[in-house]
A and B are shown apart, each in its own frame.
Chain A
């Protein structure tokens, strides 16, 4: 376990890391600007580009018809690259202008005249439900006898939860540069989590075969799911201009255009009935999940599936039915965002837990512990029939309860709020502790595969290429540490190469937190094959005097060539490896500190570099390519049953908030987190994922409000869309990793860290509710707030009468 900085940290802090738009402009390069619809739904009657094409500096104006195939889509191919007959969301791209300067392209864009016939738009989940405006069919996961159990339950709560979307707000907006190459080829540099999809969308769009399109991703300035699918059409725009004009073409969206055009976290509305007993044990749950998919399918159906698979979160619910339906509305096509559907399912069940506690007058932590998955009493099987193995949840809950002094603080807060209810100068305080159990794997089985190419050069340094894309999470650092440690080298001996479809094809997006799990395992399998060959060679070399080694004799051809066996491929990254070190040993040879020696006779040694030179002269391959897939996945989408996940990443957080009753402002004063990330490859990077995900989630549940007018996003810049600032960081912010050496399912016992900690932000949302519970109006009723609980949402809950008094009917807000 290392604490090494991110492998690009030194160039990041020097301003020398290259992002797509940092590529030096070519002499004949053109800029591409996108014109998009201001209307949520309209027919396009006419597009007049004649004025724009005459604008000085303009090289071309392109429409949907200019694409060979004007259609794309990740799961369903349902979306035009450029809308030509109708627009289905405000921000939908219609035309491209390519010009010699960005200024010319932007000004010329204003001269394109489009005649629209505006149509009524579907702008809410309720309207979509009423109109049965859906994307794909309804899905269901069910266990037990829900109706019966609900009827016989001593207590029942029926309620709903409204969850709003959120913008990814990656700092680097969508961007691509396309270079036309000889013989009709296109090389495209994109800021994408999914280069293979960029390659395919560009190829289809331009009428090229995959062999003629190469997509390269060096790094992204943040992705968070927002560049899983939606980077592809942007890249296609640059590629189209490059192909048509035979000039390099660059597209750099402004933050405003990026936010207006691209989809967000899916909003959800969930309706539920829960039955429970006097102790708060949940007996049955019936939940109907509706999501706002926006205008096109994008990834929404998979997101819904993950929401359904996470509606249990950490809790065993014997009788449970979850149905899910994606709604088609006229918003930007909503898409992947860290956590995928998980946070929405978990938001619902955590709210339910709090409501049960409030109803019974108990502490919510007690209800959580009571319902938590446990290894006893058959309470370790999910509603989709997967056994929760290596269940750390009970331990996490009780560890954090002690560490954060939960019970003492609970008492103090109760006393404080008792005073505060009468004394307006005091804030209201709230405390909540929520767990997460997040399933690791794509729920679509075929995506759970990866490949890696490892090259050992003759100076003993390595280049590694995988399908993983680097977006700040440190996937490259982790993979290079895996590879380096296996050969006893330091990380600086290994260079991670840009992700490129000509080296790693048929890759999956870097998503679902699985980047290192999949690609790291593939890289490790590849390097072990090289290691096995080198080990076998070393054993034979150690039997010869050094004077007879190839480096002295190869040119002469006086010595017999040594040959080695090609080891049989395995799909298990932990095969042959010592569990504690994670290192595999072959032929009794150890690789350590740049040296190679016989484990039993350490004096028989040579440098790694020398061994590599020997291998080359003995014509032993120093490159390897490996493929890896997650084993044991059996989830059946039709029955909703089976092993959906390789393992679960788990964690808990306790958040304390204080609320200003005059203004509704909430301040998160303290957060304590314990996270189970197995045995990290790099603890520092993992901790960075935890704090980053938590604060990102905190923005979603508090200040981040997407404000639309007639379907057009008005909060499309940081001046109006407020992600957390450094001042919002909790004053006390303790994060610790659980010591868990038992995750045999994954490469070297690690666990994925990217998404799971985001879901812990729900403790902030429930803590805000907790703070309001002492107010008289909530004595018998749990506070009802949307997610995010903005200060307006909170103030409305505190002063419902005053809000009623001053709200004028203003039509649609």
Chain B
């Protein structure tokens, strides 16, 4: 190790109180720390995989929220280590009432949004997060759809949700004090900001944690180490005791990795620490189709911490952003001990969960196209349940036309997930659709190619035949929705 001045503890504020954690405790999941070490048992653990929201707490982290007004966001405390909370301000359900219930809590009580009570703290936190957003926007009402969107990451088995929706739309925002005003003091801000400039190094028998403040410092760590972003997958496999998280490298202190930048008119650069929530805000008008797609997958709690780079680096064949990115000429920017290189995404996925990275290399950003007005983009996601489910098949298509009446394709890029060991670009299918005018015969030939190119398996999400049929139907749908009607 080079002699960089570092600290051997994590600093965060919990319900306004300063918490300095060092040693093995830093490796605990936040929910365990809260429940079993701080007796804050209002935060519940149900799935330990970020799929139910019962463990939701509110978190502010300055770099994530710099460009946004709303700063306290709900996150899942069951799949993030205490170490990853470094520099954050946290609020749990117990701190809300003072002791009079907040208007969020009153609404949940009076509209009967709680039955057994086990999911309730999570819903209260998710709705408090929504209310916080509303307060920052100086809005005084919540719509049903906003209520649903804010609680997509929370499961309830008792109420049928109807009373919870009623509670949400009945929150009296006028009589609610912002969490930010209550729990984020000037002194706290200064304390945290000062700490964000100092690297963290925690070494223990069972858990090692290293957080540099610059990318190049990262290469000084000599043991094999896992890069943790939001650990929305690593945290899950850790909890399920498949792979334990013992050596973790976090880039949360590297401030330039939080940047989203347009490069000219046609390219976008997204830093490794940019969360999906921040990205969604950014692309809302720039790439509306992608923004809409980001609404469908993962929960708000996940998207408030999970990164686009993480979704790519994880190299899951059913990850939801790679099909889109594969149609967008994406380049993966990588830093290593020997410098920087860019890798085309098409050659980045090597095999099932294998990526084209050398030892110690770190993904620092993704660069990809911003689709232009002349192009059509379609993103589909098919899963057992429409929202917050892992895909059986996901599909992206991007096309430009030779002619205005959309009968001949100039360029098409098709990418599909869930049908092979990696997300696939369908080169042959693309070829079969280009060059000449579309015709039913031409489409049928393309479909034959498609079925040759994909190699789906049967698993618990779908059978291989379902994946064949759906992939074909999605291509048909894309052409139906975007091409001039082909007589058949």
Q: Do A and B bind each other?
A: yes
Contacting residues, chain A, for B92 (C-beta < 8 A): 15
Which residues in window 430-486 of B have CB below 8 A to A? Answer: 451, 458, 460-466, 468-470, 472-474, 476-477, 480-481
Contacts of A19 in B (CB 8 A): 41, 44, 117-118
Segment of B279-287, B331-339, B383-391 engaged in the interface with chain A? B383-391
Chain B: CB-nearest residue to A22 = B41
CB of A688 within 8 A of chain B? Answer: yes
Q: A71 in the interface, Cβ–Cβ < 8 Å?
A: no
Chain B: which residue is nearest A707 at the CB level?
Answer: B460
11 new A-B contacts, CB < 8 A, other than A9-B108, A223-B116, A688-B158, are A6-B114, A15-B42, A16-B94, A170-B118, A665-B386, A718-B47, A725-B152, A726-B148, A727-B388, A729-B161, A802-B472
- Give the residues from 153 to 192 in chain A that come closer than 8 angstroms, CB to CB, to chain B: 168-173
The 6 A-B pairs with the shortest beta carbon distances in the complex, nearest first, are: A15-B42, A472-B116, A221-B118, A691-B160, A12-B117, A695-B160
A807 touches B160 (CB 8 A): no
Q: 15 A-B Cβ contacts within 8 A?
A: A14-B93, A24-B39, A703-B384, A703-B385, A718-B155, A725-B387, A726-B147, A726-B152, A727-B387, A728-B161, A729-B148, A792-B463, A792-B466, A795-B466, A796-B466
CB contact between A718 and one of B51, B239, B472 (< 8 Å): that residue: B51
A685-B112, A703-B384, A719-B51 known; A803+B469 contact, CB < 8 A: yes
Determine the chain A residues whose CB is within 8 A of the CB of B154 once the complex forms: 726
**Cα separation A110 to B241 with both chains bound (whole Å):** 10
B127 to chain A, nearest CB (A): 10
User: B93 — which chain A residues lie within 8 A by C-beta?
Assistant: 14-15
B interface residues, Cβ below 8 angstroms from A: 35-36, 39-44, 46-49, 51-52, 54, 92-94, 96-97, 101, 104-106, 108-110, 112-121, 124, 147-148, 151-152, 154-165, 236, 239-241, 380, 382-390, 451, 458, 460-466, 468-470, 472-474, 476-477, 480-481
CA distance A640 to B481 in the complex (A): 59
Q: A interface vs B, CB < 8 Å?
A: 5-6, 8-19, 21-22, 24-25, 106-107, 110, 168-173, 219-224, 254-256, 424-425, 471-474, 661-665, 667, 684-685, 687-688, 690-696, 703, 705, 707, 714-715, 717-720, 722-729, 733, 735, 790-792, 795-796, 799, 802-803, 805-808, 810, 813
- Evaluate whether A719 and B47 lie within 8 angstroms (CB atoms) in the complex, with A694-B160, A806-B464 already known: yes
Closest beta carbon of chain B to A34's beta carbon, Å? 14
Rounded to whole angstroms, the CA-CA distance of A797 and B451 in the bound complex is 21
Write out the residue numbers on chain A whose beta carbons fall within 8 Å of the beta carbon of B151. 726
Query: For A472, what are the chain B residues with a Cβ–Cβ distance below 8 Å?
Result: 115-118, 158
Q: Which of B46, B104, B239, B383 contacts A171 (CB 8 A)?
A: B46
Most B C-beta atoms less than 10 A away, residue of A255, A663, A728, A735: A663
Is there contact, CB below 8 Å, between B476 and A662? Answer: yes
Q: How far is the CB of B419 from chain A (nearest CB, A)?
A: 11
Bound CA span A735–B162, Å: 10
Contact, CB under 8 Å: B121 / A715? no
Nearest neighbor of A694 in chain B, beta-carbon distance: B160
With A718-B155, A802-B472 known as contacts, the answer to whether A13 contacts B120 (CB < 8 A) is yes
Q: Note all chain A residues with C-beta closer than 8 A to B473.
A: 661-663, 799
Partner of A224, one of B157, B468, B481: B157
Given A10-B101, A14-B97, A717-B47, check contact A806 B109 (CB 8 Å): no
Chain B residue at minimal CB-CB distance from A695: B160
| A222 pairs with B460, CB closer than 8 A | no
B residues near A473, Cβ cutoff 8 Å: 115
Q: Which residues of A contact B118 (CB under 8 A)?
A: 19, 170-172, 221-222, 472
- Do the beta carbons of B469 and A688 come within 8 Å of each other? no
Residues of A within 8 A of B236 (CB): 719
Query: Taking the nearest CB of chain B, how far is it from the CB of A760, in angstroms?
Result: 11
Q: How far is the CA of A803 from the CA of B473 in the complex (A)?
A: 12
Closest to B476 in A: A662
User: Known interface pairs A24-B39, A718-B52, A813-B463. Does A663 touch B384 (Cβ–Cβ under 8 Å)?
Assistant: no
Q: Is the CB of A171 within 8 A of B119?
A: yes
Q: Complex: how many Å from CA A381 to CA B484?
A: 62
**Cβ B387 vs Cβ A5 within 8 A:** no
Query: Residues of B contacting A9 with CB < 8 Å?
Result: 108-109, 112, 114, 117
Contact of A254 with B116 at beta-carbon distance under 8 Å, contacts A688-B159, A720-B460, A722-B389 already known = no
Residues of B within 8 Å of A690, CB to CB, are 160
Query: Quick one: closest B residue to A708, CB to CB?
Result: B460
Separation of A661 and B470 alpha carbons in the complex (Å): 10
Residue of A nearest to B299 (CB): A725
Within 8 Å by CB of A792, from B46, B380, B462, lies B462
A612 CA to B162 CA in the complex, in Å? Answer: 43
Closest B residue to A706 by CB, please name it. Answer: B460
A661 CB contacts on chain B under 8 angstroms: 473
For A172, list chain B residues within 8 Å (CB). 44, 46, 116, 118
Q: Which residues of A contact B119 (CB under 8 A)?
A: 171
A538 and B101 alpha carbons, distance in the complex (Å): 40
A474: chain B residues within 8 A (beta carbon): 115
* Residue among B101, B104, B382, B474 with the highest chain A CB neighbour number at 10 A: B382
On chain A, the residues within 8 Å of B451 by CB distance are: 806
Residue from the list B94, B114, B465, B480 in contact with A807, Cβ < 8 A: B465
CB-nearest residue of chain A relative to B149? A727
Contact pick for B481, options A425, A692, A717, A725, CB 8 Å: A425
Taking CB atoms, residues of chain A closer than 8 Å to B109 are: 5-6, 9-10, 12-13
Given contacts A16-B94, A726-B151, is CB(A663)–CB(B114) below 8 Å? no
State whether A692 and B477 are in contact (beta carbons under 8 Å apart), knowing that A722-B384, A806-B464 are contacts in the complex: no
